[in-house]
Amino acid sequence: PHAKRATSSATILSGADVRTGLDSAVLQQAVLDHLYYSLGRLPAVATPANYYRALALAIRDRLQQRWIRTSETYFERGRKLACYLSAEFLLGPHLGNNLLNLGLEQAAREALTALGQDLDAILDCEPEPGLGNGGLGRLAACYLDSLATLQYPAIGYGIRYEFGIFAQEIRDGWQTERTDKWLSGGNPWEIAKPDIAYEVKWGGHTERYIDDDGAERRRWVPYRVVRGIAYDTPIQGYGVDTCNTLRLWSAEAAESFDFQAFNTGDYFQAVDAKLRSETITKVLYPNDEPAIGKRLRLAQQYFFVTCSLQDMLRILDLAGGAIEQFAEHFAVQLNDTHPSIGVAELMRLLIDERGLDWDAAWTITVATFGYTNHTLLPEALETWPLPLFREVLPRHLEIIYEINRRFLDEVRACFPDDSARVARMSLIGEAGEKQVRMAHLACVGSHAINGVAALHSELLKASVLSDFHALWPERFSNKTNGVTPRRFLALANPGLRALLDETLGASWPVDLGRLRELESHIDDPAFRERWRAVKHANKQRLADYVQAHTGIVLDPDWLFDIQVKRIHEYKRQHLNLLHIVTLYQRLKTYPAFSFPPRAFLFGGKAAPGYFTAKRIIKLINAVAETINADPEVNGRLKVAFVPNFSVKNAQLIYPAADLSEQISTAGKEASGTGNMKFMLNGALTIGTLDGANVEMRDEVGAENFFLFGRTADEVARLQGEGYRPADYLAGDDELKAVMELIGSGHFSGGDSEVFRPLVENLTQSDPFLVLADYAAYVACQEGVSAAWADQEQWTRMSIINCARGGKFSSDRAIAEYAREIWGLQSVPIQV
Ligand code: Z16
The one catalytic residue among 475, 486, 566, 807: 566
C-alpha dist (Å) from residue 640 to 481, 543, 556: 29, 10, 14
Contact by Cβ (8 Å): 89, 156: yes
For ligand 1, the distance from its centroid to the CA atom of residue 136, given in whole angstroms, is 5
Q: Is 4 a catalytic residue?
A: no
Q: Residue whose CA is closest, atom 13 of ligand 1?
A: 672
Chain centre distance of CA 804: 23
- Any ligand 1 atom below 6 A from CB of 675: no
Atom of ligand 1 nearest to the CA of 139: 19
Q: Is 566 a catalytic residue?
A: yes
Atom of ligand 1 nearest to the CA of 456: 14
Contact by Cβ (8 Å): 152, 824: yes
For ligand 1, the distance from its centroid to the CA atom of residue 548, given in whole angstroms, is 31
Q: What is the pLDDT of residue 7?
A: 38
For ligand 1, the distance from its centroid to the CA atom of residue 373, given in whole angstroms, is 9
Q: Is 374 a catalytic residue?
A: yes
Atom of ligand 1 nearest to the CA of 288: 9
Q: Which long-range contacts (CB under 8 A, 24 or more apart) does 201-210 make?
A: 201/225, 202/226, 202/299, 202/392, 203/391, 203/392, 203/394, 204/394, 205/394, 206/394, 206/395, 206/398
Pairing assessment for the beta strands 154-159 and 243-253 based on DSSP bridges: parallel
Question: 485-814, superfamily in CATH?
Answer: Glycogen Phosphorylase B; (3.40.50.2000)
The one catalytic residue among 80, 461, 479, 677: 677
Q: What is the pLDDT of residue 293?
A: 66
DSSP 127: P
Q: Give the number of other Cβ atoms within 10 Å of residue 825's Cβ.
A: 13
Q: What is the pLDDT of residue 59?
A: 98
Pairing assessment for the beta strands 684-687 and 659-662 based on DSSP bridges: parallel
For ligand 1, the distance from its centroid to the CA atom of residue 51, given in whole angstroms, is 36
Contact by Cβ (8 Å): 441, 340: yes
Q: Residue whose CA is closest, atom 19 of ligand 1?
A: 136
Q: Is 565 a catalytic residue?
A: yes
| Closest of 792, 820, 240, 768 to residue 486, by C-alpha | 240
Q: Is 245 a catalytic residue?
A: no
Average pLDDT along the chain:
95
Task: Check: pTM over 0.95? Answer yes or no.
Answer: yes
Q: Is 588 a catalytic residue?
A: no
Low-confidence stretches of the chain (pLDDT < 70) are 1-16, 256-265, 290-293
- Any ligand 1 atom below 6 A from CB of 669: yes
Radius of gyration for the alpha carbons in the chain, expressed in angstroms and rounded: 28
Atom of ligand 1 nearest to the CA of 691: 14
- Any ligand 1 atom below 6 A from CB of 338: no
Q: What is the pLDDT of residue 487?
A: 98
Contact by Cβ (8 Å): 826, 152: yes
Contact by Cβ (8 Å): 453, 692: yes
Say how far apart CA 812 and CA 479 lie, in whole Å: 9
Q: What is the pLDDT of residue 378?
A: 84
Q: What is the pLDDT of residue 17?
A: 86
Assess whether the region 78-93+128-479 and the region 485-814 belong to the same CATH fold.
yes
The SS3 call for residue 93 is: coil
Domain boundaries, the chain: 9-68, 78-93+128-479, 485-814
C-alpha dist (Å) from residue 343 to 15, 21, 297, 487, 726: 52, 45, 17, 33, 47
Q: What's the topology of domain 78-93+128-479?
A: Rossmann fold (3.40.50)
